[in-house]
Structure 1
Amino acid sequence: MKDIILDQLNLYIWAKDKNFRYVYCNEHYAMAAGLDSPHQIIGKSDTQLPWRKLAELFKVGDYDVLNVQTRINTPEVSDTINDVKEILVTENQLLNSSNKCIGVVGTFVDITGKQLVSKTGHFDISSKRYYLGEDFGNEYLTHREVEVFRKLLLGYTAKQMGEVLNISAKTIESYIDNLRRKLQAKNKGEIIATAIQFGLTHIIHLNWYNDVYN
């Protein structure tokens, strides 16, 4: 059930051990690697996959993560089995049940040909609402929805958001569902892709956010 849910999020997910050999990937990632199933990636390194020319560059990023330098929505270019993709990568340490680092775990979203700068959306200062623009029927986000949206774009899980915002993970999920509906996304993963496509990622910058809400 877990793998079915993850595959429906349209995210590419993988995990590697400390020797940078794969221990897991989901169906989307396996397809990008030209494999028949996720199981076939186990034990392989990036030098054995379509993006082999970039393997050393990826290893540098993985090594940084092992040394506690989390990467969040980092732009990269990668060769897949079919074409070259522009991607946003988020990567963290892979921890065991004792919170000991045993490798790296990451996701990426395909942003090929999509907009990364402000294109739509604006604040109404008097009402403190963030209007999404005509593409979304002039729906608006509340203060709390903006907070959740920002943290979702920064790679936070529902549990992590709940801890930071001091509300339950269940309540966070309800806000995420509101975001999904207002952004006309099919699932949580598509919220991020939609934000990138329509240039809504500028919402993560703190300068104007603090001016409006503080």
Structure 2
Amino acid sequence: MSEQKSHWRYFTEALWSYNVALVQLLALCPALAVTTTATNGLGMGLATTLVLIITNAIISSLRHTISPAVRNPLMIGIIAGVVTMIDMAMNAWMHEMYKVLGLFIALIVTNCAVLGRAESFCSKNPVLPSMIDGLGMGLGFTWVLIVIGGVREILGSGTLFAGASLLLGEHFHWMELTLLPDFQGILLAILPPGAFIVLGFLLAFKRVVDRRRAERRSRSHGELVVLQ
């Protein structure tokens, strides 16, 4: 039971407490560059999540056999191989989305978040916790991309998840929403400054939530001390 709680802690902390984009401030290049729509953010996030899970599993399983002298080059090689396979798969089966995200899919190789988790976590922990950590880190990154992309898309064009069927298939056409018909859009939202502005508001939101949670815990602890 304690092991299950530990695995759950890996996952939840990766989603919020150690979020790649909002806490570690890593992978900001794709977070700001591809998030002109929520669909682009979802596609990039899912690709990064898949890379994290697979590379974490491989590197963790080899952690006792990799020499420290060649560990970083070997990890980069493993990450590059996995990213290349995902890049080719997207080109084959999601070509329209690949034309939008193709360059940034290849750049996952240089994503500091992927290499950072491989070095700091996977090289020291078993396979299952490493995969759970990768899933949490990836989904934490994904929801940030979706929120940034969603806000920019709504303000920029009045739609949400435009082109979702290109990424997920025709069955997900229902996700493509027009929230503001005949909306002219705010150009700033879909330009690079819009990404920085939305990210800034997200960072501020997280700080406020964390501070209020800390204050509630402090009050609860004080009440328990008084009762005792």
Name the TM-score, length of structure 1 as normaliser: 0.28
Q: Flag the structure with larger Rg.
A: 2
Greater percentage in strand: 1
Greater percentage in helix: 2
